[in-house]
Amino acid sequence: MPFFAAPRTEPSGPLITRVARIGTVVCAAALLIATNAGAAKPVRPVDATAAAVRVDNPDDAFLAARDAFRSGDVAHGAVFAQRADALDARYPLSSYLEYWALSRQIRDYGDALTAAAPDDAIRSFMTRNPGSVVADLARRDWLVALGKRGEWATFEAEMPKFALNDDAQVTCFQLTARALRQIRGATNRSEASADADGAADPAISELLRLSRNALAQPREYTNDVGACATLGRVLVAEKRLTQQDIWGWMRLGSDANNATAVRRYALLLSDAERGGDSARFYRQLDSVLDKPALWLAKTSEGGESGALRYKRELAVMAFARIVRADPQMGAASVQRQPADILTSQEVAYLNAQLAAATAKKQLPESVEWSRKSLAAEGLSEDILGWQVRGALRAEDWKMVQVLIEKMPPEMRRAQAFEGTWAYWLGRAYKAQKKNEAAQTQFRQVADQFGFYGQLATEELGQKVTLPTRAQPANATEVAAAKELPGFQRAMYFYRLDLRREGNLEWNFALRGMSDRELLAAAEWANRNQLLDRAVNTADRTRNEHDFAYRFLMPFQAQMQEKATAVGLDLDWVYGLIRQESRFVQVAKSSVGASGLMQLMPSTAKYVAKKIGLDGYRADGVNDLDTNLTLGTSYMRMILDDLDNLPVLATAAYNAGPGRPRAWRSTLTKPVEGAIFAETIPFNETRDYVKKVMSNATYYAVLISGNPQSLKARMGFVAQRGYTPSELP
């Protein structure tokens, strides 16, 4: 019997073991109320409002508590939590009720110096919930609070126990703690500070490498609670960061159009590095970020010298922003500048910006700008990638090789970026008759189950097949998966339609699993119609694989009927749905796309009218039959609209049919479908097309039982003049 049809277990067991826990929740709320003067946000006192709301079952009480805690209303959350316990002494999700109250207490401890230390409460909670998601979440919150307060001894004692270890704030605090201990605590201070890169001490050198990598993330630097800024300030105080580091990160922030990150990075500069007048510097920085052309014009009119470092850096940032907005205007602006305004290195950097900007706009001059930029340093991954894409579109294989070999080693290794740059480096070698080097590259990529792994396999003279199928999970293995507390909590969350929480529990339970355990978990998920979990879980196996789980084929009779009715290959339909929704029928995207095939309301309405679907109503889009009818009909429409080329139609399904038409119109000659896909200007659509086409190839192997060719499926895309599409 699928989980969703199973009756809920009735409450049982003694109440006495729950009383202490209920008291913990209420006491946590009471403590917050008592210490409200030092809290970051005011907490409303308990009143009769929440208690007066009638809840007849623990699920309703749990959801009410969740809403209250999420809104910051800890007092009412505690009342609902107490009600949940009263209704069910062994409620499966009770640890979350504790965690939500405790997490607010921990946050307040981090934000207010007068708040009471919650160490004992946290340790008690983690002891009673060993190896659980909520225990690790509590530890994460605690680590952030400890970092904010600078309690580094406790932080370093607890950090190794943090299982998720995926929080950028915690990482920056961890590096700060290490920096304070390893650099400031060095016995021989003169030796420790003699080398800015820490060459005298390998541990310090590695610490600085990790720190620079952590700081060079504009989004994280903007979103964190000051952890990375704290790390930056410590390294500045210890003279371990240079102006070049800081200005480089400011450029990265500007490249990402993240003005907040740029301004925060600028705080790491000294007054002298800002020109001695901080207020004036920040006014100029704001002008550069908001109106770069106007700032450059005013600076030029004022006759100010560009010799000072900060003025040159601001000028570079201003030029780069103009270049990204309008490459033609940017190129003209850079070329008009006197030689003393920009150094040769800065000019090379701007040429790289021009190469990337013209590549994104699919202009042929990208290659020439790349040629002029080869001396540039400190380029972002995005800029480096787009330079290569510009050369790919021109099929200038020598430049492709030069640009990829210029990338940092970690960017072009076979496992990075799903093998993208390792594969294209192999293709560049092959085009230049460097066959041995090419084969080495392809072999390094071919063991990956993805778009470039498949293409590399074909470059080695083989077609795409499936790995040997692992032995199915036996009854004992599946039973063991069923009993895991994390899976049981996940199942309960799915029953409450809380997929985010359910997925967190499910994925946490997968940590450290063997391939056999993963396959058993995939089977258990499949039996319970958790199709997305079955796919994602099977995707994690390392040596034993079962592609029948990785590429599930549910609803096969209906899918075949709908695909046949409109003349589509079933493998392509499955490949698209796997990427769109992972077979979750009630999936809804942030932009409003719904159902198995993730249809936008306007598209569904258009298709329903076009095919004469009688009685269609917008609220029926999640109905399986309706969703498949509309989705496959739309796939047929865009395939016909785009010359029966699946690679273009796949892009159209994600980005709309007009955009692939525009991208195709800029071609100067036919290009491989793989090159067309890799040079799609939209990151999401580029990734989407590669994944859908890779999925479809594996589905074709499963359905036909025969080896397949992804290269043949991708085909070639020829230039065609742009005309608007009538399709939505």
The token pair at 181 is 């201990």
End-to-end Cα distance, the chain: 42
Helix or strand holding residue 135 (H, E): helix 133-149
Residue 701, phi then psi, degrees to nearest 5:
-65, -45
Cα gap 727→605, rounded to integer Å: 12
Of 463, 424, 458, residue with least CA distance to 441:
424
Taking the C-alpha atoms of residue 532 and residue 232, their distance in angstroms, rounded to an integer, is: 40
What is the token pair recorded at 461? Answer: 């003279």
Give the residues across from 599 on adjacent strands: 594
DSSP letters, 498-542, are -HHHHHHHHHHHTTT--HHHHHHHHHHHHHTT-HHHHHHHHTT-S
What's the rounded Cα separation, in Å, for the pair 318 and 156? 42
Give the DSSP per-residue string, 644-693. T-HHHHHHHHHH-THHHHHHHHT-SS-EEHHHHHHT-S-HHHHHHHHHHH
Q: Is the dihedral of CA 559, 560, 566, 570 positive or negative?
A: positive
String of b and e for 625-664 (b: at least 16 CB within 10 Å)?
Answer: ebbbbbbbbbbbbbbebbeebbbbbbbbbbbbbbbbbebb
**Residue type at 646?**
P
580 catalytic? Reply is yes
Q: Which amino acid is at 103?
A: S
Closest CA to 350 of 273, 255, 246: 255
- In terms of DSSP H, where are the helices of 361-463? 366-371, 381-394, 397-406, 409-412, 420-431, 435-445, 451-459
Contacts of 335 (CB under 8 A, 6+ apart): none
The residue annotated as part of the active site, out of 313, 418, 580, 672, is: 580
Virtual torsion, Cα 516, 520, 525, 531, nearest 10 deg: 50
Strands 716-717 and 671-672: antiparallel
Structure tokens at 713: 């499926």
Q: In this structure, what token pair is assigned to residue 660?
A: 């692939």
Question: For the chain, how are helix, strand and coil distributed in percent, rounded to 5?
Answer: 65, 0, 35
Partnered with residue 672 across adjacent β-strands are 716
The count of C-alpha atoms lying within 13 angstroms of the C-alpha of 257, restricted to the half-sphere facing its C-beta, is 6
What gap in Å lies between CA 487 and CA 184, rounded to an integer? 45
Token pair of 4 as six digits: 């969703």
- Return the axis-axis angle of helices 133-149 and 94-111, rounded to nearest 10°: 10
In angstroms, the CA 633 to CA 643 distance is 16
Q: Give dist(CA 652, CA 60) in Å, integer.
A: 43
User: Is 551 within 8 Å of 695 (Cβ atoms)?
Assistant: yes
Residue from 115, 123, 39, 111 nearest 75 by CA: 39
**What are the catalytic residues?**
580
